[in-house]
Chain A
Amino acid sequence: MEFFFGSFVKIVAVVAWVYGLLRVMGNSSKLVKIVGIVAMFGIVQVAILVKIGDDAILNSFDTGLLFQACTMVMVALGLNLIYGFNGQFSLGQYGFYGIGAYTAADITYRWTNGQASGLIVAGIGVVLIGAVILGLNRFLSRFRGLPVLSAFTLYLIGVIVAGVVAYYVGATIGDALTPLFGSTDAPGILRSDIALQLVFVLAVLIAGIFAAEVAFLFGLPVLTLGSDYFGIASLGFTIVVNTLMVNTDTILPFPEMKGGQGMIGIPKVTTWFWAFAFLLLVIIVMRNVIHSSTGRAIMSVREDETASKAMGINIANYKLLSFVIGSLFAGIGGGVYAHYIGFLSPGTFDFIVGFNPLIIIVFGGLGSMTGTIVAGFFWMFFLEGMLRVLLGQMGTDAPTWRYVLYPITLLLMMLLRPKGLLGKVEWGFLRPEEVTPRRTAEMLNSATGVMPTVK
């Protein structure tokens, strides 16, 4: 009973915290904004540190939920961009989440084991691949009516070439850097704590960009399918990625990932500071994209593709764009997750659990950023935190019942609130900027003034 009460208070507190965070972020005064964000960060940091009796206010179990909620929100926000805002039903989000997690984990793992080449190969790789994709994109846009598969082949060749170049360059520079690591007894300058933090941030960003680049290559041909077919294809993608994870040490040349056994020894670098920072980054980017002309173009594709085309919008580009950004978020989320838990197992990225972000965005409301964030935290603290433990107290097998309870909750949700927990409501920062009424029609005499000025 005491646990029930405690959990309940925590859930309310977390939702209130999210509300507070979004409110201070939305404050018009820059000073209030910065102080507020620091304060919202501080409250949680204090709760993690301050002990009441034996345990901290947020004990290790709660902090675990908190970190997982942060990564889950990043992944779910990405999926909401793809499905909720752009209307492309995707089941591939966990594939990109997994790619991000393994990529980031491998970079820092190698780094802590005295191998700089991981970071350098991946870093140069994503930059080169990005440059190739952007360059080819600009080049190919000159050709009219190029079949998508031909374009895909060109991109693929470009990406492979870039990857090979990155590999050889990385191997060369990497070996040169290795002496700077020093030995285990006398660590060199590259094995300091600060270096590791820096590498961690780079690793997470590289992982995100890598996931985004994979999303580009996958999405380019596959997004031309209709929405439902795309959903099936993306499910296939998740399964392929999962199979590759299980076989990292056999068919892929990554023995340190240990295949199905799971990868161990990833440095646990994710602190509350980093989880909060990356979450903030994702929320800000997401909101800034949505509340812009690009965001309106993305939403118009969801509403009506034909009308969207007639408004001069290249719908294939915007589908690809939202898919790539959504996967970028998933990749970043994966990187943050890997360094919190310190252990990666292919089971974590199984396609069945891949439905979790989908449930979260439907629960929170498709096309509602606030809904996704609240539902993400709620999901972790209520279902994974409270319900799991409560069921656990009833017997060792009882937690399995939550796989019955989740779908029932979702079902009830769909029946009672088909538009999601919060519908279209957005809080504070996530609300669109207010538009004030303008002059009346009588005051407008020149017709030319209202036509868009072409720049």
Chain B
Amino acid sequence: MTNTVTTSSSTSQPLLEVRKLTKFFGGLRAVNDFDMTIQPGELVGLIGPNGAGKTTSFNMISGLYTPSSGEIILDGQNIAGLEPHEVTQMGIGRTFQNIRLFQNLSVLDNVRVAYHMHAGYSMIDAILRNSRYTARERELTEQAQDFLSIFKLERIQHELAMNLPYGEQRRVEIARALASNPRLLLLDEPAAGMNPAEIVTLMDLIHFVQERFGLTILLIEHQMRFVMGICERITVMDFGEVIARGTPKEIQANPKVIEAYLGKGAAHA
């Protein structure tokens, strides 16, 4: 463990605390003793070269992978080893590096799937088409539509997700993750494949949702301009280990980070 820059010693309970998280794939140690603390309302970046273990850490936090060892504490509760759907129900929403929308469903239905766990009616209600179904389904649809209009997606609500341009698919995916009502939002390379203008729009969007929904956000990103421009704190990983933590300024000046990205010797240049 190196360069542990502790950021705040505030007494408030962190929203997410990751302790000594480790993941083996066979003999390969993909993530080794990963530690991280996120306070409520923070926007934290996780960066590192390809294969550094960022997405693996994400997948462990969101429950897709079971950690080999370590703890993931969300609001005082250890969620390591829970099923992904349980993690989502605990309040962690996420997007994916390669967009994973429900391609053959409409934009509206994509969002309504995220509302499923709060649907408030059972399948029996649906089969009987009783008043509870009618009321809750209308409420749920209206919420989803209002939600889409916040993201300026209401005009394309009936389009199939597969027919949308890339940038809009990203927006829908973020909207869908937010619709699951998370306390912590994990964004896996939200700016991947975007041009500079789109990245600016995305940064605005992320700032907007953070303020509007009082969210805590953890994001993985490769685009330095994006990360440096948006994150309050950054954690850098390389070869499965955390090599640096700090504010964007500190990270930019950190020789280990420069070395990890540009190779040995670059830091002295």
Does B109 touch A at the CB level, under 8 Å? yes
Does A441 touch B at the CB level, under 8 Å? yes
Q: How many residues of B contact A (CB 8 A)?
A: 59
Task: Specify the chain B residue showing the minimal Cβ separation from A299.
Answer: B105
B116–A303 touching, CB < 8 Å: no
- B-side binding surface: helix, strand, loop or mixed? helix
Interface-central residue, A312, A314, A440, A451, by most chain B CB under 10 Å = A312
**Inside 8 A of B82's CB, which chain A residues have their CB?**
144
Task: Specify the chain B residue showing the minimal Cβ separation from A317.
Answer: B85
**Inside 8 A of A300's CB, which chain B residues have their CB?**
102, 105, 113
B157–A451 touching, CB < 8 Å: no
**Inside 8 A of A289's CB, which chain B residues have their CB?**
123, 126-127
B119–A306 touching, CB < 8 Å: no
B137–A292 touching, CB < 8 Å: yes
Complex CA distance for A314 and B89, rounded to whole angstroms: 10
Complex CA distance for A299 and B89, rounded to whole angstroms: 19
Chain B 123-156 per-residue mask, 1 if CB under 8 angstroms from chain A, else 0: 1001111000100010111110111011010100
A29 to chain B minimum Cβ distance, whole angstroms, is 15
A452–B115 touching, CB < 8 Å: yes
Complex CA distance for A144 and B66, rounded to whole angstroms: 13
**Inside 8 A of A321's CB, which chain B residues have their CB?**
123
Does B93 touch A at the CB level, under 8 Å? yes
A311–B113 touching, CB < 8 Å: yes
A190 to chain B minimum Cβ distance, whole angstroms, is 32
A293–B212 touching, CB < 8 Å: no
Does A435 touch B at the CB level, under 8 Å? yes
Does B72 touch A at the CB level, under 8 Å? no
Task: Specify the chain A residue showing the minimal Cβ separation from B93.
Answer: A310
Interface-central residue, A304, A307, A310, A452, by most chain B CB under 10 Å = A310
A439–B149 touching, CB < 8 Å: yes
A311–B146 touching, CB < 8 Å: no
Does A145 touch B at the CB level, under 8 Å? yes
Does A308 touch B at the CB level, under 8 Å? yes
A307–B123 touching, CB < 8 Å: no
A314–B116 touching, CB < 8 Å: no
Does B96 touch A at the CB level, under 8 Å? yes
A453–B118 touching, CB < 8 Å: yes
Complex CA distance for A374 and B85, rounded to whole angstroms: 37
Interface residues of A in 203-234 (CB under 8 A from B): none
B154 to chain A minimum Cβ distance, whole angstroms, is 7
Does B260 touch A at the CB level, under 8 Å? no
A307–B126 touching, CB < 8 Å: no
**In the complex with contacts A293-B126, A303-B105, A438-B145, A313-B154 CB distance below 8 A:** no
A-contacting 9-mer, from B24-32, B37-45, B175-183, B224-232: B175-183
Does B170 touch A at the CB level, under 8 Å? no
| Complex partner residue of B146 from A295, A299, A309, A438, CB under 8 angstroms | A438
Complex CA distance for A313 and B84, rounded to whole angstroms: 8
B-contacting 9-mer, from A156-164, A166-174, A442-450: A442-450
A282 to chain B minimum Cβ distance, whole angstroms, is 12
Does A59 touch B at the CB level, under 8 Å? no
Complex CA distance for A438 and B154, rounded to whole angstroms: 8
A82 to chain B minimum Cβ distance, whole angstroms, is 16
| Complex partner residue of A441 from B63, B140, B154, CB under 8 angstroms | B154
**In the complex with contacts A288-B126, A435-B157, A450-B147 CB distance below 8 A:** yes
Complex CA distance for A321 and B89, rounded to whole angstroms: 20
Task: Specify the chain A residue showing the minimal Cβ separation from B155.
Answer: A437
Task: Specify the chain A residue showing the minimal Cβ separation from B117.
Answer: A312
Q: How many residues of A contact B (CB 8 A)?
A: 44
Task: Specify the chain A residue showing the minimal Cβ separation from B173.
Answer: A307
| Complex partner residue of A296 from B62, B100, B113, CB under 8 angstroms | B113
Task: Specify the chain A residue showing the minimal Cβ separation from B129.
Answer: A288
Interface residues of B in 159-216 (CB under 8 A from A): 176-177, 179-181, 212-213
B112–A293 touching, CB < 8 Å: yes
**Inside 8 A of B104's CB, which chain A residues have their CB?**
299, 302-303, 367
Does A294 touch B at the CB level, under 8 Å? yes
Does B81 touch A at the CB level, under 8 Å? yes
**Inside 8 A of A314's CB, which chain B residues have their CB?**
83, 85
Does A13 touch B at the CB level, under 8 Å? no
Does B94 touch A at the CB level, under 8 Å? yes
B154–A307 touching, CB < 8 Å: no
| Complex partner residue of A294 from B120, B126, B152, B179, CB under 8 angstroms | B126
Does B239 touch A at the CB level, under 8 Å? no
B85–A315 touching, CB < 8 Å: yes
B140–A435 touching, CB < 8 Å: no
A207 to chain B minimum Cβ distance, whole angstroms, is 19
Complex CA distance for A147 and B23, rounded to whole angstroms: 22
Does A285 touch B at the CB level, under 8 Å? yes
A234 to chain B minimum Cβ distance, whole angstroms, is 23
B126–A311 touching, CB < 8 Å: no
Complex CA distance for A446 and B103, rounded to whole angstroms: 30
Complex CA distance for A89 and B147, rounded to whole angstroms: 35
A293–B121 touching, CB < 8 Å: yes
**Inside 8 A of A451's CB, which chain B residues have their CB?**
143, 181, 213
A43 to chain B minimum Cβ distance, whole angstroms, is 26
Does A297 touch B at the CB level, under 8 Å? yes
Complex CA distance for A140 and B150, rounded to whole angstroms: 41
Complex CA distance for A104 and B47, rounded to whole angstroms: 63
**Inside 8 A of B212's CB, which chain A residues have their CB?**
447
**Inside 8 A of A449's CB, which chain B residues have their CB?**
143, 146
B83–A313 touching, CB < 8 Å: no
Chain B 60-97 per-residue mask, 1 if CB under 8 angstroms from chain A, else 0: 00111000000000000000011111001100011010
Chain A 412-445 per-residue mask, 1 if CB under 8 angstroms from chain B, else 0: 0000000000000000000000010111110010
Complex CA distance for A144 and B139, rounded to whole angstroms: 33
B96–A297 touching, CB < 8 Å: no
A387 to chain B minimum Cβ distance, whole angstroms, is 33
**Inside 8 A of A144's CB, which chain B residues have their CB?**
81-82
Task: Specify the chain B residue showing the minimal Cβ separation from A295.
Answer: B126
Does A454 touch B at the CB level, under 8 Å? yes
A437–B181 touching, CB < 8 Å: no
Between A and B, 10 residue pairs with Cβ closer than 8 Å are: A288-B127, A293-B121, A303-B101, A309-B63, A310-B62, A311-B116, A440-B149, A444-B146, A444-B149, A449-B143
Enumerate the 6 nearest inter-chain pairs by beta-carbon distance, A residue then B residue, closest first. A292-B126, A312-B88, A452-B118, A303-B102, A309-B84, A293-B119
10 new A-B pairs (CB below 8 Å) besides A311-B180, A438-B146, A452-B143? A288-B127, A293-B126, A303-B101, A304-B101, A306-B64, A312-B116, A437-B154, A439-B149, A449-B146, A451-B213
